[in-house]
Structure formats: C-alpha cells, structure tokens
Chains A and B, each alone.
Chain A
Amino acid sequence: MRAVEDALGITVPTNARLIRNIIETIQYIQDHVVHFYALHALDWVDITSALKADPEATSALAQSISDWPKSSADYFAGIQAKLQGFVASGQLGPFANAYWGHPAYKLPPEANLMAAAHYIEALHWQRQVIRAHAILGAKNPHLQTYLVGGMSIPVDPNSQAAINADKIAQLLDLFAQAKEFVEKVYLPDVLAVAPFYLEYAAVGEGLGNFLSYGDLPLVNKPDPNKPGDLFFPRGLILGRDLSQVVPLDPAKITEYVTHSWFTYADETQGLHPSQGQTEPKYTGPKPPFEFLNTEEKYSWLKAPRYDDQAMEVGPLARMLVAYVAGHERVKYWVDAVLNALNATPQVLFSTLGRTAARCVESLVLAEQLEPWTRELAANIATGDLAIHENDHWHPSTWPAEAMGWGWSEAPRGALGHWIHIKDGKIANYQAIVPSTWNGSPRDAKGQPSAYEAALVGMEIADPNQPLEILRTIHSFDPCMACAVHVLDPNGNEITTVTVAEF
C-alpha cells in the first residue's frame, strides 16, 4: 500500500494517517503482550512450580511490585486451583511442550504463580483491547480497512457506521485499559523476572548491527531522515556503537540467494529489491530428511543485507535507534528499566535486552494512544472528514512507469515492499519481512544472520532440552502465523538448532 502510494506520489489525509498510526500502535502493544505472556513467558516461568506457591506470599509479592488490583491471596489461590485442574486432567495445551522442572528455571514458586496468573489475565486483556481494531473498521491481524490512498472507514460525526464521538469514547476506554495493563502488569513482571536471569543480559545478541526504517509518521508528508517527522526514527546502530545513529540509505539494501532455494544469474552478488528476482529452485534432499548441507542452499528465505552486512531488526533495533537519537520517552523508559535493574545500556545487547526493549516499546506506545486518539477527534471536529486521496485511484491517472518503496516497522521489525508499476500493471513486486532479516541463511560471504549469530557460543545444560536456545530465539518473536514449523511426527517442535560453531 505504501509502496504504491510512494510510486504514485500519494499523500494520505490526516485522518487516515492518524487512524493508521492508532491501529498500528494498538497492534504493536497487543502483539508484544501476547508474545511475552503466551510465547516467551513459558521460557522463564515454570507452571508446575506455581502449584507449590503460597497464595499469601504470592499476594505479598504482587503487591510489592505493583498496585494492580487483582492481587489478593484469594485471587491467586483461585488461579492455582484452576492450574491444578488442568495439570490433573492432563490437558496442558501449549504448556505440554515446555521443559518443566528444567534446572534453568530459576523463579521461586510465588513468582511463577504470579506470572501464570498474568498469562491468563493477558489472554482476557488481549481479547478486549483488540476490539479497537473492529471499531476502526479492521480485523486483527489482517487489517482490511487499509486502502491505497487512505482508509475505507468513513469519518462522520453524524453517522453510526462511521467514526464518531461514541467510537472515540470507546477507543479511549480500551486504550486506558491497554496502558494500565502495560504499566501495572507487563512492566512489573519483566522487572520481577529479569533479576533471576541476569546471565541472559550478557548473551544472545550476536551481530551488533541494528536497522530501523522508522514508522508512525507525525506529519502527512514525512521526511524519514528529519528528526521529529517519524515517531520511531529511521537509522542504524553499527558495531554496538551507542554514540551515533548512522543514516539509512535504502539503495544499500540487497538480497542474496547464495544459500537460498532461489536462483540468480550471478549468485555471488546481491540484488536491490527494486530489481529483485524470486525464481524458486529447490535443490535440497527429498523430504522428510534429517540433515541439510549448509555449505549448499538450505533455506527458503533469501538473505537481506545492508551495505553487505547482516542486520538485526525488531523492537530492540527500534529502541536503540530511538534511544541514541534522543527520543524523549524512549530514553525515559529505557533509563527507568536500566535503573531498576541497576544496569548500563550495554546490557541491551542481549536476549534479555530484546525482551526488555519489547516492553519499553509497549510502554512508550501505550502513552501515545490517548493523545493520538484525541488528535483524531480534534481534527474531525475542525470539519476535516477526508479519509482517502482519490486523485490517483483510476489507473488512467498513473504514469506509464513508476517505482515505489513502502517502508514500515511491523511489530517484529523493518518491513519493506518494493513495487515496479508499468503500463498500469505490477511489473515486479518484492517484500523483505522482518523475520527474513533476522532468520536468513548465510550470504555470499558466509555471514550469518541475527538468529544464528545470537546462538554462537551459547551453553546448553541439556542438549535434549535446549531451553537456552528457545529463550534466545523466542526473544526475537519469530513470525508464527506465516512460518513453517519443523515438527517431529508427534508434533513436538524439533529444537535441535544446528549452529556450526557449537
């Protein structure tokens, strides 16, 4: 959508820009909270240990870290009974795959019970707050209200079907709930769990290079390189150097297929996505197989590189770029988290840093939901009801040929689409999604991507239960809905991640 808008020189109206920002922001927050509780927390929290907790002591712990109201001993006793019921019935659902009792679980039973309770609360909460998408005409996670040129939902103070004062009030109520949960549950939980796992503040970050396209435009015609035009700034952090943000030059983005099941005329070279090619050519063994030769082609992902270097993308990249760029609220929350953990910014280069950055990002964004919603209401109140730019809708208005780059920051990181329009048709379309940056195979120079680099040298207590690897891979929030999962015949995730340097 932004790729086409860029190609055709479309500026979306203020209402559409604000609604897009609001939808994206609540999606980030919902996604991050669900990731932390539903996927990542079980890497740190031992549900079976929660059964041994004393509800009184759990209540005291919860009240010592937050004034969130659901913290009585009765409440935690109820949660414990519920968990006991699930364990007794053998219906553990996603809990069944975890490595319960693994020595790498270090939380006391009370912290485990508190986190388990908040996992259940997060499930309730996410169902509630994501209703904001429906109010704005979208449906998570595929948000159909987006249109090239703006949005499809009408803005009309006098219509029940459109965005009006009622809907703004509903949004503000949901957003207050979102902010409360992030500040009173998510952040205290991260701060309560982290001290037990400080060894993960020293491992799990391998590249030292971070890329953010920037996103959430604050003006209708943003200059992505101008401070203040984007809420999340654009730029690079290279070589773990926190003294400067390096400007991003989109011409330096290329994709290699040296180790990917695609073919180029010259596979020693990368191609810029505007000239990108996607010619599949599977050369691996006939599945099911046990082994892939990583000297040859071994992945369906291409290998995106910036200036021939691998980059990490995602909340940590965004927060580092914003922190170094002097983003006021990011600095405030990063420093608050670092102070609480008595740590320096260097610890951000780690598994725990990635997990903390996702929480910081949620905090920073949760603060914006209300002012941005009020800004939308105020703009509508001025009589501006424009939601869509129609001038370029009809193909007869398009140039014979046009190229566009649509950049954005998805919850998991930098997302780019490149389009080449010729004679009213799509001549070429290429996308680089965040998990491709982070999880790509090696490039022509043999350089690993972020996942692989993050695991090099990691010590595993029990190779049959590689919890340490899961913690680090999960800290990236690998794309679930679109990924192909490698499962053994019983449906268990195969976790023998092979890293050459082991």
Chain B
Amino acid sequence: MPETLILGVGNILLSDDGVGVRVVQKLQALDLPQTVQVEDGGTCGLDLMQYLEGVSRLIVIDAADFKLPPGTIRRLEGADVPAFLAQKISPHEINLPELLFSAKLTGIYPQQVIIFGVQPGSLDTSLELTPPVAAQVDRLVDLVLQEMQR
C-alpha cells in the first residue's frame, strides 16, 4: 500500500501546463521505495480519487499562476493549500480542487498535502516546455526527492 503519492497534473499539449507531468515522468524512471507511488494525473480530476485511498502524504506538482517570473517554484503546505485552491490560481481549477475537496468529503484527504507550484511562461499549444520552466524540471525532481527525506 503506498504511503506517499506523487501526482503530476497538467496538460502536456499546452506547453508549461504539462510541467507536473514532465517531472513525474522523470521520477517514474527512478528506483523509488515500494511505499511511494508516482502517477501522471494528466487532466484527470475525480478519476484520481482511487489513488488517494490510504495515502498519508500527497505531493502534487502543478503549474500555477503566482504572477511571478516564469519558472518560479513555490512550495505550499497545510493551510496554504486550501487557500491556493480557493484562489484557483492553478489552470486546473476544475480538477485538482475538486479532487481534494471530494477527498475531504469522503474522509480520504491525506494527513499531509504538499503542492509544488511552478509559474508557467506559456500555455500555448506545444509539446515543449519554455526554457525557464524546462530548466526547473531537474530541480523539481530534487525537491520532491528531498521532500520524501523529511
């Protein structure tokens, strides 16, 4: 049973929106403990609820509009998470908030929820990340790995 779920969300067809998925693709290639599950959440919302069951720590990587320079990373935890969702600065305003809200309603909200938000430079139709965001992918992988050491 996984204790930690690492979820990358976003649409890889929309340039930097897919940064979470790109990070998860790198993590999936690593040899991680059995207690860690890594999922490409794509643009799914409620469909991801099944992965939250029994998870005590959720780490989400997502594009988020902080009105900061492209590639800026922000780590959110605890009370900042609902505030983040309430402001809907994530482009996935339908998916992630609904998923976490539904998890709360049904009593499977993880004890710890951490979001790594990345400021996108572009949400245009493209399979490529923009250079300032692409430059942060390895750093995000490291940040997630460090998070698991905590």
Contact = CB atoms under 8 A, between A and B. Distances in A.
A346 B85 CA distance: 43
Interface stretch (A10-18, A126-134, A158-166, A241-249): A126-134
Nearest to A34: B46
A94 B97 CA distance: 7
Contacts of B98: 38, 93-94
Contacts of A95: 101
A491 B93 contact: yes
A120 B93 contact: no
Interface in B9-52: 42-47, 49-50
A184 B12 CA distance: 40
A123 B87 contact: no
B88 A142 contact: no
Interface string A110-148: 000000000010011011001100100000111000000
Contacts of A126: 46, 49
Nearest to A487: B93
Interface string A460-499: 0000000000000000000011100101001100000000
Contacts of A38: 46, 98, 102
A142 B105 contact: no
B42 A93 contact: no
B73 to A, nearest CB: 21
Contacts of A485: 93-94
Interface in A17-42: 34, 38
Contact of A91 (B82, B88, B89): B82
B86 interface: yes
A200 B94 CA distance: 26
A341 interface: no
Nearest to B53: A127
Contact of B94 (A91, A124, A480, A490): A480
A123 B102 contact: yes
B93 A123 contact: no
Contacts of B102: 38, 93, 123
Nearest to A128: B50
Interface in A66-97: 82, 86, 90-91, 93-96
Interface string B90-108: 0001110110111011100
Contact of B104 (A91, A141, A481): A91
A82 B105 contact: yes
B106 A141 contact: no
A366 to B, nearest CB: 20
Interface string B70-92: 00000000000010011111000
Interface residues of B, number: 26
Question: Size class of A's contact patch?
Answer: 20 to 34
Given A91-B101, A123-B106, A481 B49 contact: no
B129 to A, nearest CB: 20
Contacts of B46: 34, 38, 123, 126
A194 B88 CA distance: 33
Interface in B100-140: 100-102, 104-106
Contacts of B89: 491
A141 B93 contact: no
B53 A491 contact: no
Contacts of B106: 120, 123-124, 127
A490 B47 contact: no
B44 A141 contact: yes
Contacts of B97: 93-94
Contacts of B53: 127
Nearest to B87: A491
Contacts of A487: 88, 93
Contact of B47 (A86, A91, A140, A491): A140
A120 B44 contact: no
Residue among B46, B85, B89, B93 with most chain A CB within 10 A: B46
Contacts of B45: 480-481
Contacts of A82: 105
Contact of B44 (A91, A94, A481, A491): A481
B126 to A, nearest CB: 13
B49 A123 contact: yes
A130 B50 contact: yes
A120 B88 contact: no
A124 B50 CA distance: 9
Given A91-B82, A91-B86, A131-B50, 18 more contacts: A34-B46, A38-B98, A86-B104, A91-B104, A93-B85, A93-B102, A94-B97, A96-B86, A127-B50, A130-B47, A140-B47, A141-B47, A480-B45, A481-B44, A481-B95, A485-B94, A491-B89, A491-B93
22 contacts: A86-B105, A91-B86, A93-B97, A93-B102, A93-B105, A94-B94, A120-B105, A123-B46, A123-B102, A123-B106, A124-B106, A127-B49, A127-B106, A130-B47, A131-B50, A134-B50, A141-B44, A141-B47, A481-B95, A485-B93, A485-B94, A491-B89
Interface of B: 42-47, 49-50, 53, 82, 85-89, 93-95, 97-98, 100-102, 104-106
